[in-house]
Amino acid sequence: MKIYSYAIIDSNSKISDSINGLEGVGVYNIYYRDIGVVVSELSEQIQDITQEHILKHEEVVEKLMENFTVLPVSFLTLFKKKDDVLLMMREYYSDFRENLDRLRNKIEFGIRIIWSGETIRNRIIDTYKKSSANISITDTSPEKSFIKEKFEKYKLDKEFEEEANKVITLIDDFFSRFAAEKKLERLKSDNLLLSAFYLVEKERQGDFKEAFERTKRTPGDLKFLLSGPWPPYNFIVLTKNADMFNRKPINQDLAGKNTL
């Protein structure tokens, strides 16, 4: 039997709702002090992982999110036995407690902004060509040409990045007004200008969505995508070193502090 974990929650009580996890098995709470980890048992090895397993994991976390503050556990985090779960909870307790307090009543939204990188680059090239049209080049040796080419590529990339940052700053300044925390991933590709994650107070989610709608209507070539609300996947900060598990024995007194 394996123990599959879905989320850390701010409760040491039984899960009152009937929630089925992977393979249709009901989930339950293994608690440690005033928090718990919601798990289900897997008696047989999963023979094939499909997108349904991934969506089921997410579905369980989202159902828990309706009633608890949750710290979602990453997909396929399995333990051999209950004592191992308790050891993990003991070692991470202060981290989990801090995160649960910080993330209480908050949700995550994802915003992706797409632009045409090619169009932007061509525009920069055109401007560059116009400004250098009157400059006559006397030295056309291969060495000089190579250096010139490298320099132009560097300049193009730099200007592209500057243009991106200008737009990102403008947009992010606006959304940041409605968020408690944020994480930005700039230019993951030429076309993906921004992947942003905003942590928003539940009671401000309406304001955030309205802000998104207003931004989306702004004239221009940018395409905006919103997803959420999500559990706060991108805002969990753990300071503990996982290697600790290689040296600490299981403490027997933990077994009496939970129910199954």
- Residues in contact with another protein by CB under 8 A are 2, 7-8, 45-51, 54-55, 57-58, 62, 65-67, 71-80, 84, 87-88, 92, 96, 105, 107, 110, 112, 114, 188-189, 191-192, 202, 205, 209, 213, 223, 225-231, 233-234, 236, 238, 242-246
d(CA 156, CA 101): 45
Residue 127: CB minimum distance to another protein, A: 25
d(CA 71, CA 199): 13
d(CA 64, CA 80): 23
Residue 128: CB minimum distance to another protein, A: 25
Please give the single-letter amino acid code of residue 254.
L
Distances (CA, A) of 86 to 3, 180, 247: 12, 32, 15
Distances (CA, A) of 139 to 41, 129, 151, 174: 74, 18, 16, 49
- Only one residue has tokens 């709702």, namely 17
Indicate the SS3 state at residue 86. Answer: helix
Q: Which is nearer to another protein, 126 or 185 (CB)?
A: 185
Residue 62: CB minimum distance to another protein, A: 7
Q: Which is nearer to another protein, 77 or 165 (CB)?
A: 77
Q: Which is nearer to another protein, 53 or 257 (CB)?
A: 53
Q: Which of 220, 170, 219, 218 is nearest to 196 (CA)?
A: 170
Q: Which is nearer to another protein, 142 or 219 (CB)?
A: 219
Residue 182: CB minimum distance to another protein, A: 15
Q: Which is nearer to another protein, 128 or 215 (CB)?
A: 215
Residue 202: CB minimum distance to another protein, A: 6
